Structure 1
Amino acid sequence: MNFHPFNDLDLIAPRPLLFIAGDQAHSREFSEEAYRLGTGPKELFWVPGAGHVDLYDRTGLIPFDKLTDFFRAQL
C-alpha cells in the first residue's frame, strides 16, 4: 500500500518507455500520468476497446506489431 511507482520513474531515465493501455481501462489516468512524468524517448499506445485486464491474456488485443516496432527502433 505504500508503493508509489511514479516516485522513482526518474531512476530509469532516459531509457525508452512504451506504455500500452486499453482505452477503456479504469486505470487510464495512471498510464497518462506515467507518460507525462517519463523522460527520454517515450510513447503511449492506446488499444481500442480494451479494459484494464484485457491485455493480460486476450492475445488478439495485444499489439505485438507495436512492441516489435518499438523494440527494434529503441534497443
Structure 2
Amino acid sequence: MAGADAHSRYYSEDVQAMAPGSVELVIVPDADHVDLYDRKELTPFDKLDEFFAKNLAA
C-alpha cells in the first residue's frame, strides 16, 4: 500500500516489479506517506481485511 503522492512510492513499485503476480500494490489516491498514518479515512480497510483473511486464515 502506498500513497499516490508519496515520495517513497517507488519502493513499493519496485517490490511489485520484483514479485509480479504475488504482490498486489494498492495505491491510495490523494495520499502521501504520512497521510496513511494520520488520515484513517484514506486507508482502504477493505483491502486490508481481504489480505489478512486470505493470508492468516487458520
Same fold (TM over 0.5): yes
Are residues 1:33 and 2:18 paired?
no
Identity percentage over the alignment?
54
Structure with max Cα Rg? 1
1:42 Cα deviation after fit: 1.6
Matched residues in 1 for 2:30 and 2:21: separation?
Answer: 28
1:40 Cα deviation after fit: 7.2
Are residues 1:56 and 2:37 paired?
yes
Higher relative contact order (CA 8 A, sep 6+): 2
Structure 2: give runs of 5+ residues left out of the alignment. Answer: none
Structure in which a larger fraction of residues adopt strand: 1
Matched residues in 2 for 1:29 and 1:42: separation?
Answer: 14
Are residues 1:21 and 2:2 paired?
yes
RMSD: 1.7
Structure in which a larger fraction of residues adopt helix: 2
Relative to the length of structure 2, the TM-score reads: 0.80
Matched residues in 1 for 2:55 and 2:22: separation?
Answer: 8
Structure 1: give runs of 5+ residues left out of the alignment. Answer: 1-19
